[in-house]
Amino acid sequence: MFQQQFGFQRISNSKAEHCCVPFCKASRRRMLKRGAVPELFEWNNYTHPGTEPMVWERKRSHPPLLDHDYASAPDPAVVDLALDENMSLREEILQLRKRIEEQTLNQRFGLHRFAGSDKDIRFFTRFASYDLLMRFWALIEPLLPSMVSVTQAQSGTFTEPSSPATPPLQPIDEMFMFLNYLALGLKWHDLADRYGVRQSTVVRTITTWSDFLYTVLGSVRIWIPEERIKEHLPEEFKDYGDTRVILDFMELRCQPSSPLVQSEAFSACKSHYTLKGLLGVAPHGAVTFISPLYTGSISDKQIMEDCGILSLLRPGMAVMADRGFLVNVFVPCKIYRQPFLSHRSQMSAREVRATQANARLTVHVERLILRVKEHKFFDTEIPPQLFDNINQLYAVACLLTNYENGPLVKA
C-alpha cells in the first residue's frame, strides 16, 4: 500500500540490489527509502567518478585563441613569403597583359599588317611603295607634337599639345586610317569596324589629320622657280622650253543640302552639282598650284581672278592649257593651246603639228588629275556634312601626289 501510494521504483545492481529509491509523482522528486544506509566506501573499492571542470577552469587549461588579435605582430617569415607571392602574381599579370596587347595589336587593322607588300600599300594608301610611305612618315613625325586634335580645338586647351589624352591608335596607324579614307573612300562606320574603335573616334581622327597635313604640307612652297623648272624639263618639252605650268580645272560631284547651294553648285558642263578647282602642274608632273574649291556655276574667268594664279605668272613665262581654257585676256603671258578651226574647213600643217604636240603634253595634267582621282574618296558625291572640311581634304589629296609617286615624265 505504501509502495503504491508513493510509486516506489526498485533499482537493482550488483552491489545494492535491495536499495530502492521512491519517486513522488506529486512533487516530481526522487526520495530515499526509509531505513536506507550508505554502503559505498573506499574500502570496498568504490571510486568517485569526479565532476566536470567548471567554465573558468576550462579557460585556464586552454591557451587563448588569436583569431581576432589584430595587435599581434605576424611572423617575419610569413610576411616575406606573402610579399614574394604578391610579386610573382604581379609579374604574371603583367606578362598576361603584354600577351593580350600583342594579340590585339596583331589582330587590329593597321600598317604593320601590310608592311611587307608594296602592292597592298599601293592599294590602301596610293603610295607606290612601303619605302616611300616611310620616307613621308619620317618627314612629318617630328612635327607630331605640334598637332592639335579636334577635341583640344573645341575645348580651347592649346597649352600642352604634346600631352593629349592617350589615343586609341598609334599615330602611324592614325595616319594609315586617314590614307585609307582618301585612297579607298571608306565610310566612317567601315573604318570604325576595321580598326576596332568608335565611329566618333574615326571622325575626330580624320578631321585632325586633314587639318594637320593641310597645315604641314601647305607650309611648303610648291610653286617651283623658273631655273628649277628648266633643270627638270623633260625632253618632250624641248620645243616648249618656256612652259612653267600646265593648267586645268578639276570638278568634284557633290550633294548640296539647300536650294541656294544647289543653284550655285549646278554645272552646265557636267549637268550635275559640282565643286570646281584650278590645278597647276609642272612639266615634269609635280603639283605646283592648288586653288580653293568653288561652286560649279562660277566661270573660269572668276576663278582665275580670285584664286591667285595671276600673281605668279610673268610675261616671259608660258602656260599650257586645254582647248577649252578661254582665259587669254586675263593671263599676262603666252598660252600654248590647241588651235580652233574658226569657221575654216581644215587646219594648216603647222597647226596640225602644234595641235598634236599640245595634245601629247597636256595629257600630263590629265594623268595627274587621274592620280588625284585615284583617291576613291573623290569618286563618290561629296555629302553636305563634309563641306566644312572638303577644301582641306582636296588640297591634301593633291599635295600627297608629290610624295606618293615618282615623276610623270622623267627628265
Confidence band of 121 (pLDDT split at 50, 70, 90): very high
Rounded average pLDDT over 81-107: 75
Nearest to 182 by CA among 268, 113, 123: 123
Regarding beta strands 8-10 and 266-267, do their DSSP bridges make them parallel or antiparallel, or are they unpaired?
unpaired
Which H or E element spans position 96?
helix 76-107
Give CB contacts under 8 A, 24+ apart, made by 8-16.
8/33, 15/39, 15/40, 16/40
Grid coordinates standing for 177?
586610317
Count other Cβ atoms within 10 Å, centred on residue 86. Answer: 10
Structure letter (DSSP) for residue 33 = P
What is the DSSP code (8-state) at residue 292? P
* Residue 392 pLDDT level (bands cut at 50, 70, 90): very high
Tell me which of 201 and 370 has the higher pLDDT: 201
Four-point Cα dihedral 364, 365, 366, 367, nearest 10:
50
pLDDT digits (tens, 9 = 90+) for 133-167: 999 999 999 999 888 766 555 545 444 443 344 34
Q: What's the average model confidence in pLDDT over 65-70?
A: 55
Inter-residue contact 361 to 264 (CB < 8 Å): no
User: Which runs of E-coded beta strand occur in 283-386?
Assistant: 287-290, 294-295, 318-321, 334-336
Residue 55 has pLDDT above 90, yes or no: no
Task: Give the pLDDT confidence of 239-251 residue by residue, as tens digits.
Answer: 788 889 888 888 8
Contact in structure between 368 and 285 (CB atoms under 8 Å): yes
Average pLDDT, the chain: 77
Better-scored residue on pLDDT, 168 or 153: 168
More confident residue, 78 or 382: 382
pLDDT in tens, 217-235: 999 999 999 889 888 888 8
CB atoms within 10 A of CB 193: 14
Using CA atoms, how far apart are residues 147 and 149, in angstroms rounded to an integer?
6
Four-point Cα dihedral 339, 344, 345, 347, nearest 10 = -30
On the question of pLDDT at 275 being above 80, the answer is: yes
pLDDT in tens, 326-374: 666 677 888 887 654 454 556 566 666 666 666 666 676 677 778 787 8
Distance CA 352, CA 356 (A): 6
The pLDDT confidence band at residue 19, using thresholds 50, 70 and 90, is very low
All structural domains of the chain: 2-48 (no CATH), 111-218 (no CATH), 226-404 (3.30.420)
Cβ-defined contacts of 212-216 (< 8 Å, 24+): 212/143, 212/147, 212/148, 213/140, 213/178, 213/396, 213/399, 213/400, 214/392, 214/395, 214/396, 216/140, 216/143
Closest of 306, 275, 281 to residue 386, by C-alpha: 275
